Structure 1
Amino acid sequence: MASTLFRNGTVWTGAGEPAIGALLVSDGVIAALGDDALAAAADATEVDLEDGFLMASFGDGHAHPLLGGLEYVGPAVRPCTTVDEIVDAVRRFAEDNPDEEWIVGASYDGSLAEGGLFDARWLDKAVSDRPVVLRAWDYHTVWCNTAALDAAGITADTPDPVLGEIPHREDGSVLGTLREWGAVDLVTAVMPARDEEVRIAALGTAADYYLNKGVTWVQDAWVEPGDVDTYLEAARRDALRIRFNLALYADPRHFEAQIAGFSQAKRRVEQLGSPFLTAQTVKFFADGVVENETGALLAPYCSGLHSHGMTVWEGDALAEAARQVDDLGLQIHIHAIGDAAVRQALDAIEYVVDTNGERDRRPVIAHVQLVDDDDLERFAALGVIPCMQPLWAQEDALMNVLTVPRLGRKRADKQYRMRSLADSGAPLALGSDWPVSSGAPLDGIAIGVSRQTAEGEPAGGWTPDEILPIERALGAYTEGVAKQAFAEGTWGRLVPGASADLLWLDRDPRSTPALELPAITVRATYVRGALGFSEQH
């Protein structure tokens, strides 16, 4: 068996454990630690850690890797800091790609226009002869030019669809911004499908992106039937390179027709037998997002535009759908942003437990932007994993321009209560929601352990009582995600017998100032003992 000895650095085996000086990998598995590793390493190839830091690789508990990879295919609007820059980027892309029937891109900063409302006429200045569709950072909103609206048949007389909104100008004409998937679907339904080769390549782009940041397992948190086909073909070609778990999207408009498809997708993935692909989860949306006032709140929005926001599953529908998913042995994963949505998600899971009995189901509620005090202890009591995005816990432009005005300061200061949930005994896991925000765990951890922006604001941190200790944050991004994945003991912690999914950093993050964490260099990432990324190549 091929063996590799890692030495001459700090080997961190997990939260609360002392660091050691060596680790031995044999045939893709951790064989020994510390002195035992040195004693058994006679024929091993050595890797000199050069005083660096070796730890378990990160997992990402909630992301959208296929969408992230596809961002690299369209116009580069993510770096743009003004509307004019976005328009120029679209114009250049259109000129360079004259044969593209539709121009599709992502993801623009929704805070660049007042209220997050973008006008089709601005894009018309760049491209008027072909449809243009851009997704916002939140991926719950799109911005279209007039040609795209025309192609979708959206006019001033088109009513708001179920689970969607079509904003209008003062004169009643359609603005060009579409909110939530009920409205977004009107456009995506007439868009040409992406070439399958492009989609498979996008998964490769996503794998490279993650490996460069030390991530080797990702929860794809919105998978539709065509996406399953893409993942399966990529796995057949050995093109995945990291571990993906698929969360199959549950749509309240079509749920009864989807149930059989969930079982079929799981069975197809299991029959393929790829070590890099599982399909054990179903994804529900309980609400939208605060930024466009579709997050579901217990008390109304300050503006009153949408009052309490949007409830995706009315009445007991979410609870009953979750029960049917649980009947299939699949994991429940619920997007819940507002405190009303979080309560509905907890109620649904409680109903599942009461109806189907106790078992190791590990339900997940993702985001948990707002949680009412009365619901805080329910996570631990029900065994619910809060999968949260630490990068969002900062007073940046998005927070100050779009979020705080909608929630009000008192309610805004109760967002992202990661420390409170972890202290309550809830099994905290962390994720990025990439490409909504950076997929680099160290970017998110820097915010989670400081509650500050990259500029160090505010002094002492925003809502400092919610600051996570560094080992707790690292643990939630490793063994916390492994628990979410039903994979503890397989990866997420450096113990003998575990897969050698490893991350080599140039320095110890535990002793690095919070704002310097994003500057730590990923020297290498290993998957099952094989080199997945090296800064030297």
Structure 2
Amino acid sequence: MSSTLFTGGVVWTGTGQEFDALLVTDGVVRALGGQARDLAAGVDCEHVDLAGGFLMSSFGDGHAHPLYGGLEAVGPPVRGCGTVDEIVTAVKVYAEDHPDEEWIVGASYDGSLAEGGLFDARWLDAAVPDRPVVLRAWDYHTVWCNTAALERAGITADTPDPVLGEIPHRPDGSVLGTLREWGATDLVMNVMPARDERERIGALGTAADYYLARGVTWVQDAWVEPGDVATYVEAARQGALRMRFNLALYADPRHFDSQIEQFAASRRAVEEAGSPLLTANTVKFFADGVVENETGALLAPYCSGLHSHGMQNWEGDSLAEAARRVDELGLQIHIHAIGDAAVRQALDAIEHTLSRNGTRDRRPVIAHVQLVDDTDIGRFAELGVIPNMQPLWAQMDALMTVLTIPRLGVERSDRQYQMQTLNRSGAALAFGSDWPVSSGAPLDGIAVATSRLTAEGQPDGGWTPHEIVPIERALSSYTGAVAYQAYAENTWGVVTPGASADLVWLDQDPRNTPPLDLPHVGIHATYLRGAQAYRADEGKVRP
């Protein structure tokens, strides 16, 4: 047997208890406190001195896009650009350094850098006039193309807005170069060459490096298409997965009847891969888009009136019936819902599923829940729905002040991200990051959840401070609550005897750390099933 004894710090179980010692044997928590010391005295084991630090269950990310995040490292580095000119320069330099690439593909630019989030193809033409350029926005609902890419996709001034999409135009009627939502972005994505499979598997490694260095060992990939399933399966067969992933198979309202036949086959392919780190138990629905491009579905119109109430991707009762059919397969429902109308439609779909398919342990998820009407708050707990929310978004940053508030108005904006309200209602509040849309570091999100402040400490007292989540609840929302979402509460998410030793060692107790300092708490090491997967002083992730 292989054993490790952790001492010299606080061991927080996530169950309301803390101890001063932890014994792990063969990747499983064996004992805590004095019992751990007693059992360790009789065996040959490794000793780890926590040096006054804090050991807890590793984090889970209940909603993210790890494959996309890993692929961002492959294209032009536009994520950190603070102006349109910086983006164009980064694309130009990358294109010059990669003369053999037929398409220049990258992500993800800041959509608030151009008025209304509208970016012109001619700006990219100045950098790369002879090859297609396609950049995803930070929200992954929007794409910015150059003229060559629009031409390859056959998009002209006469191309009508497709179903579930929008093609903005210049005042003279010519195509601008920004494409919004799937119906429009797919016009370009469908003619782009597929990335090399080795590159895609490498991107999963990049994502693992990113997450393990931030204490995360389980991720819900919340947007997986058939080609992505194949990539994960091949990575599993090669032994290239280094953390836990669950796949949410993408349900497209335009093709759902044919897709549903693929869901069971995809789950079976994942099971046959035989990796304990990979599951495919979930189906992802998009009920709407995002507020920032006015495709989030609202009960009352947008202030600008550009899209009135926004966009509902599933018409009538089609979402309810699709959710019921997915549930019949024994798969978990996971619905993206940003606006209050989309949240209501998602809750209605789950209620329909329960009434038609009967009682079972289904744990449906509604992700984001940016706006929810007061009359719908109690329905989460009543229907057993998990609100998976992105706490980092609940702050008055540039995205909020430049793009969101002008579209929603102040009164409605102050009802966003009601995390503590949902928590108090009895809903099983879980957290995710939506990485690479925003930071995948849980401590970044927890800092905002526990303060409602920007990194600069604004506004004084916090924005909508009544929605501040207590620190221990915030930690649990990124650990035990995500494990519950993953049907893994008996495997990981808390530190108790018999649980997998999925752990993160912090250099200080986050419960006693001012919220604005939480992003700077150091992560000494991350453990998966008792094995060290990351150690800070080695500067790398272990294979």
Q: Is the TM value for this pair above 0.5?
A: yes
Partner residue in 2 for 1:127? 128
| SS at structure 2 position matched to 1:329 | coil
Q: TM-score, normalised by structure 1?
A: 0.99
Partner residue in 2 for 1:311? 312
Partner residue in 2 for 1:451? 452
**What letter matches 1:5 in structure 2?**
L
Establish whether residue 242 from structure 1 lines up as the match of residue 243 from structure 2.
Answer: yes
Partner residue in 2 for 1:32? 31
After superposition, the C-alpha distances for 1:219-247 in whole angstroms (9 at most, x for unaligned) are: 00000000000000101111110000000
| SS at structure 2 position matched to 1:40 | helix
After superposition, the C-alpha distances for 1:382-420 in whole angstroms (9 at most, x for unaligned) are: 000000000000000000000000000000000000000
Counterparts of 1:32 and 1:236, CA distance in 2: 34
Counterparts of 2:213 and 2:100, CA distance in 1: 33
Counterparts of 1:192 and 1:355, CA distance in 2: 43
Q: Is the 8 A contact 1:299 1:308 kept in 2?
A: yes
Q: Is the 8 A contact 1:489 1:495 kept in 2?
A: no
Counterparts of 2:409 and 2:514, CA distance in 1: 31
| Shift of residue 18, structure 1, vs aligned partner | 2.8
Counterparts of 2:127 and 2:175, CA distance in 1: 19
After superposition, the C-alpha distances for 1:267-312 in whole angstroms (9 at most, x for unaligned) are: 1111222110000000000000000000000000000000000010
Counting only pairs closer than 5 Å after superposition, residues 203-282 of structure 1 correspond to structure 2 as: 203-282=204-283
| Shift of residue 39, structure 1, vs aligned partner | 0.4
Partner residue in 2 for 1:5? 5
| Shift of residue 183, structure 1, vs aligned partner | 0.2
Counterparts of 1:385 and 1:222, CA distance in 2: 18
| Shift of residue 489, structure 1, vs aligned partner | 1.7
Report the count of equivalent residues. Answer: 536
Establish whether residue 508 from structure 1 lines up as the match of residue 509 from structure 2.
Answer: yes
Counterparts of 2:165 and 2:261, CA distance in 1: 26
Counterparts of 2:40 and 2:85, CA distance in 1: 59
Counterparts of 1:343 and 1:250, CA distance in 2: 19
Partner residue in 2 for 1:475? 476
Counterparts of 2:241 and 2:422, CA distance in 1: 34
After superposition, the C-alpha distances for 1:122-156 in whole angstroms (9 at most, x for unaligned) are: 01111000000000000000000010001101000
Counterparts of 1:44 and 1:21, CA distance in 2: 17
Partner residue in 2 for 1:399? 400
**What letter matches 2:57 in structure 1?**
A
**What letter matches 1:26 in structure 2?**
T
Partner residue in 1 for 2:298? 297
Counterparts of 1:272 and 1:119, CA distance in 2: 44
Counterparts of 1:268 and 1:86, CA distance in 2: 40
Counterparts of 2:314 and 2:185, CA distance in 1: 18
**What letter matches 1:252 in structure 2?**
P
| SS at structure 2 position matched to 1:482 | helix
Counterparts of 1:444 and 1:119, CA distance in 2: 32
After superposition, the C-alpha distances for 1:23-45 in whole angstroms (9 at most, x for unaligned) are: 00000000000001000012211
| SS at structure 1 position matched to 2:214 | coil
Establish whether residue 68 from structure 1 lines up as the match of residue 64 from structure 2.
Answer: no
Point out where structure 1 has 5 or more consecutive residues left out of the alignment. none
Partner residue in 2 for 1:21? 20
| SS at structure 2 position matched to 1:264 | helix
Counterparts of 1:317 and 1:489, CA distance in 2: 35
| SS at structure 2 position matched to 1:227 | helix
| SS at structure 1 position matched to 2:67 | helix
Partner residue in 2 for 1:185? 186
**What letter matches 2:232 in structure 1?**
Y
After superposition, the C-alpha distances for 1:82-123 in whole angstroms (9 at most, x for unaligned) are: 000000000000011000100000000000000000000001
| SS at structure 2 position matched to 1:41 | helix
Point out where structure 2 has 5 or more consecutive residues left out of the alignment. 539-543
**What letter matches 1:280 in structure 2?**
N
| SS at structure 1 position matched to 2:460 | coil
| SS at structure 2 position matched to 1:471 | helix
After superposition, the C-alpha distances for 1:291-336 in whole angstroms (9 at most, x for unaligned) are: 0000000000000000000010000000000000000000000000
Establish whether residue 175 from structure 1 lines up as the match of residue 176 from structure 2.
Answer: yes
Partner residue in 1 for 2:40? 41
Pairwise CA RMSD: 0.5
| SS at structure 1 position matched to 2:31 | strand
Partner residue in 2 for 1:58? 59
